[in-house]
Amino acid sequence: MRALALALWLGLAASPLAAQGVRPSGIDYAAERAAIARYQDADQRLQDVGWTLAKGNVAFCPVRVSSIGLQLQDMASYGEPGVARKALGLTGNFAVQTAARGSPAEFSGKFTRNREVTRLAALDPNTMSAKQRFEWQRLATVHQHVEFLLDLKGHIDIGFADGGTALIESVPVCATRFELMGETDTAVADGSRVVIGIGFPAFAYPEEPVFAAVVAHELAHNVLGHDAWLDRNGRRPGNVRRIEREADRLIPWLLANAGYDPQAAVTFMTRWGAKHDSGLRFRTGHEGWDERAEAIAAEVAQVKGLMSREGKADWAAHFRREIDPAGGPQRKAAR
């Protein structure tokens, strides 16, 4: 996999204990729990917005998957699994991380944060082998197991350590996972995942639609196939400029279909860009934030018109591409 952190890296920087793997004699478990909760709060916000975007645009996404909107956590992903386990009051390693707002997991009312999980269909994930510390592969495998069963059967039966069970039916969403990274200001997409660092400036924006705009930008890269296109055509500045411009322009379409004001895309680019994009265009081939905001604003009018006439912004049919998805960088297309 590319050098991106998975959601299960969530707790690595949650505290000095988690980050350093030390074992002091006096441990403030309340402080450890509060530090973990900070990451869980950020992940909840990301999952809520990600689910809203992925569900709202599913009719137009080229690849769809079955999902229940559930994120799990694995104590083995921490630097000190025993400390994290005790801080959260767990006996095993797996528990609920988030249930995305509006998802089947959330609607069931059974996936409360840190509720301990002992069974995913026939699999007890706690019986799977893992390294002692900083293990991420096991949780990735468990999430893949859940996704496989949902695609195969359309539902999954989950058991909890307290004796409860939940049989959850899945729904289709755009094929992207949304994952929180540690203390970085990075936001990236790799074709199948959107990975955002907890230090990214948009986490400080109180308005959900404005925060959703940055998530939508990364989702746009995935649904437009940009990572694979760059692999075929090269990651030269000119090609990066093309795919970044496409991703920018698709933001208001994705927002509108998810029920957000598409104008929030312009608000995000203006607010973020004026403060944070200094020199970005020279490093990577990006345009300046003012040019990017102008390109986004031009899409907003079309999106609002489509929403008014049709009740949807069908970007699969109406969005003008600037690359040939199956070919090279040159493509002449009319609206």
Torsion, Cα 306 244 221 137, to 10 degrees, reads -150
Q: Please check whether residue 18 is in contact with residue 79, taking contact to mean a CB–CB distance below 8 angstroms.
A: yes
Query: Is 323 domain-assigned?
Result: no
* Residue 163 and residue 223 in one domain: no
* Residue 95 and residue 223 in one domain: no
Range of the domain at 216: 200-318
Q: Is the pLDDT of residue 83 over 70?
A: yes
Summarize the confidence of residues 316-330 as an average pLDDT.
Answer: 88
* Residue 35 and residue 149 in one domain: yes
Query: Is 193 domain-assigned?
Result: no
**Please, which residues have CB within 8 angstroms of residue 234's CB and are 6 or more apart in sequence?**
none
Give the position of tokens 């992925």: 54
* Residue 227 and residue 131 in one domain: no
* Residue 163 and residue 204 in one domain: no
Query: Is 168 domain-assigned?
Result: yes
* Residue 288 and residue 224 in one domain: yes
Kindly report whether the global pTM for this prediction surpasses the value 0.85: yes
* Residue 80 and residue 131 in one domain: yes
* Residue 220 and residue 143 in one domain: no
Q: What are phi and psi of 19, to 5 degrees?
A: -75, -35
Query: Is 209 domain-assigned?
Result: yes
Query: Is 335 domain-assigned?
Result: no
Residue 167, burial from CB neighbour count under 10 angstroms (0-12, 13-18, 19+): exposed
* Residue 95 and residue 233 in one domain: no
* Residue 19 and residue 167 in one domain: yes
Q: Please check whether residue 271 is in contact with residue 263, taking contact to mean a CB–CB distance below 8 angstroms.
A: no
Query: Is 328 domain-assigned?
Result: no
* Residue 142 and residue 103 in one domain: yes
Q: Is the pLDDT of residue 100 over 80?
A: yes
Tell how strand 193-197 and strand 187-189 pair up: antiparallel
Query: Is 192 domain-assigned?
Result: no
DSSP calls for 148-195 = HHHHHHSEEEEEETTS-EEEEE-EEEES-EEEEESS---EEE-SSEEE
Q: Is the pLDDT of residue 280 over 70?
A: no
* Residue 204 and residue 165 in one domain: no
**What does the pLDDT look like over 159-187, one tens digit per residue?**
999 999 999 999 999 999 999 988 888 99
Question: How many domains in the chain?
Answer: 2
**What does the pLDDT look like over 281-314, one tens digit per residue?**
444 555 688 899 999 999 999 999 999 999 999 9
